[in-house]
C-alpha cells in the first residue's frame, strides 16, 4: 500500500508559536519555509505522496500537523490539542483526512496531541504531558478498542511530547532519551539511547529502514547507522526554534480510501 503524507506550509506567524521547554529566539520564516519544503522533498524521495495544505496564517503552529490528527489503519482520530491556540487547526486536517479514513473525534474535556502517541503494532502509548489528559486518553481507548488497540499512559518529563522523548523505529526498537521518559511500559523493546550531547534527538521519523533525523544530531545518526539504519539528515534548524521534531511536520499513513 503506497504511503501518503499530509503537510501544511509554514505559517507567516511562526514567530508567535507555542513554546514549552525552549527559550524564544527569532525565527527566519523564509528559511523555515525552505527547510520545510526540503523536508517534504525528502519524504517524496522515500516514495511518499505528499499532500500539501496551504499555510494557515492564523495558526502559528499549523505546520505541526501531527498533533491535531492520529491516523490508524482503520480510522483517523481528530484530536483536541491541549494548547488552546492550536484547537482550530484540526478542522482542515479533518477535511484532508476524510477521503482516507472514517473520522472519530476527541471531545471536551479531553485533550490529546498526536505528538504524544507512539504506536507499536496495536499498542498506543500516550505521553502524560501538559497537552494530553486522562480524559483524552480514555476517549482514544474507547474509539480504538473495537479495532484491537490498547492504550497505555507513559510518564514523561522535561519535554513537550512523548515523541520528544522516544520514537519507534520498527524492528522492535525505540530511539529514546531515558532521562525524559519512563521506559517501563515499553520494556518489550530494544532501546537505542540518543547521544548524551543530543538530548532532543529521540524524535526520529522511521520510514522502513530509513530514519529521517535533524542534521543537528550527527552523533545519534552515527549510533543509528551502527545499528543498521540508513539515516537521512534534514536541516530543520529554524523549525527547531519552534520546538519542532521531524515527526510533527507530517501525518503519514497508508493511502487507502475511507470507504474501502
Ligand atoms: N511549537 C510547538 C507546540 O508547542 O505545539
248 is known as an active-site residue: yes
From 42, 159, 166, 248, active-site residue: 248
Q: Which of 16, 19, 22, 240 to mutate to test the pocket of ligand 1 (most atoms within 8 A of CB)?
A: 19
pLDDT at res. 71: 98
Each residue of 97-143: pLDDT tens digit? 999 999 999 999 999 999 999 999 999 999 999 999 999 999 999 99
Each residue of 152-211: pLDDT tens digit? 999 999 999 999 999 999 999 999 999 999 999 999 999 999 999 999 999 999 999 999
Residues contacting residue 126 through CB under 8 Å, at least 6 positions apart: 112, 116, 117, 132, 136, 137, 140, 151, 152, 153, 154, 162
116 close to ligand 1 (CB < 6 Angstrom): no
Residue ID of nearest Cα to ligand 1 atom 4:
18
Model confidence, pTM:
0.97
Whether 139 contacts 106, CB under 8 Å: yes
Residue ID of nearest Cα to ligand 1 atom 3:
18
Residues contacting residue 106 through CB under 8 Å, at least 6 positions apart: 77, 78, 79, 80, 112, 136, 139, 140
Strand pairing report for 103-105 and 166-170: unpaired
Stretch 72-85: mean pLDDT: 98
Each residue of 204-217: pLDDT tens digit? 999 999 999 999 99
Whether 213 contacts 222, CB under 8 Å: no
Give the ligand 1 atom nearest the CA of 86. 5
Stretch 247-259: mean pLDDT: 93
235 close to ligand 1 (CB < 6 Angstrom): no
Each residue of 35-68: pLDDT tens digit? 999 999 999 999 999 999 999 999 999 999 999 9
Rounded CA-CA distance 154/162 in Å is 8
17 close to ligand 1 (CB < 6 Angstrom): yes
161 is known as an active-site residue: yes
DSSP secondary structure code for residue 181 in this structure = B
Cis peptide bond N-terminal to 153, omega within 30: no
Rounded CA-CA distance 46/237 in Å is 21
242 close to ligand 1 (CB < 6 Angstrom): yes
- How many C-beta atoms surround the C-beta of residue 220 within 10 A? 27
Q: Is 101 exposed, middle or buried (0-12, 13-18, 19+ CB in 10 A)?
A: buried
Residue at grid coordinates 515499553: 186
- Tell me the sheet residues that pair with 176: 166, 193
Stretch 141-149: mean pLDDT: 98
pLDDT at res. 259: 75
The answer, yes or no, to whether residue 260 has pLDDT greater than 70, is no
pLDDT at res. 1: 82
Amino acid at each position: 500500500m503506497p504511503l501518503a503524507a499530509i503537510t501544511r506550509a509554514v505559517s507567516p506567524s511562526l514567530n508567535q508559536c507555542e513554546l514549552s521547554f525552549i527559550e524564544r529566539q527569532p525565527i527566519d520564516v523564509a528559511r523555515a519555509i525552505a527547510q520545510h519544503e526540503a523536508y517534504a522533498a525528502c519524504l517524496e524521495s522515500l516514495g511518499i505522496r505528499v499532500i500539501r495544505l496551504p499555510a494557515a496564517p492564523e495558526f502559528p503552529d499549523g505546520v505541526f500537523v501531527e498533533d491535531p490528527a492520529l491516523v490508524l489503519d482503520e480510522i483517523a482520530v481528530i484530536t483536541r490539542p491541549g494548547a488552546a491556540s492550536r484547537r482550530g487547526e484540526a478542522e482542515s486536517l479533518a477535511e484532508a483526512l476524510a477521503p482516507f479514513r472514517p473520522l472519530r473525534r476527541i471531545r471536551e474535556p479531553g485533550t490529546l496531541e498526536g505528538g504524544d502517541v507512539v504506536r507499536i503494532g496495536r499498542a498506543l502509548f500516550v505521553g502524560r504531558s501538559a497537552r494530553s489528559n486522562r480524559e483524552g486518553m480514555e476517549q482514544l481507548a474507547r474509539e480504538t478498542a473495537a479495532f484491537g488497540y490498547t492504550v497505555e499512559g507513559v510518564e514523561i518529563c522535561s519535554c513537550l511530547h512523548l515523541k520528544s522523548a522516544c520514537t519507534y523505529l520498527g524492528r522492535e526498537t525505540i530511539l529514546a532519551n531515558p532521562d525524559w521518559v519512563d521506559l517501563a511500559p515499553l520494556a518489550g523493546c530494544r532501546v537505542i539511547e540518543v547521544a548524551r550531547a543530543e538530548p532532543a534527538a529521540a524524535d526520529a521519523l522511521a520510514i522502513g529502514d530509513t530514519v529521517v533525523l535533524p542534521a543537528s544530531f550527527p552523533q545519534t545518526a552515527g549510533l543509528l547507522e551502527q545499528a543498521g539504519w540508513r539515516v537521512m539528515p534534514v536541516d530543520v534548524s529554524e523549525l527547531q526554534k519552534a520546538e519542532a521534531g521531524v515527526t510533527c511536520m507530517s501525518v503519514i499513513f497508508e493511502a487507502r480510501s475511507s470507504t474501502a
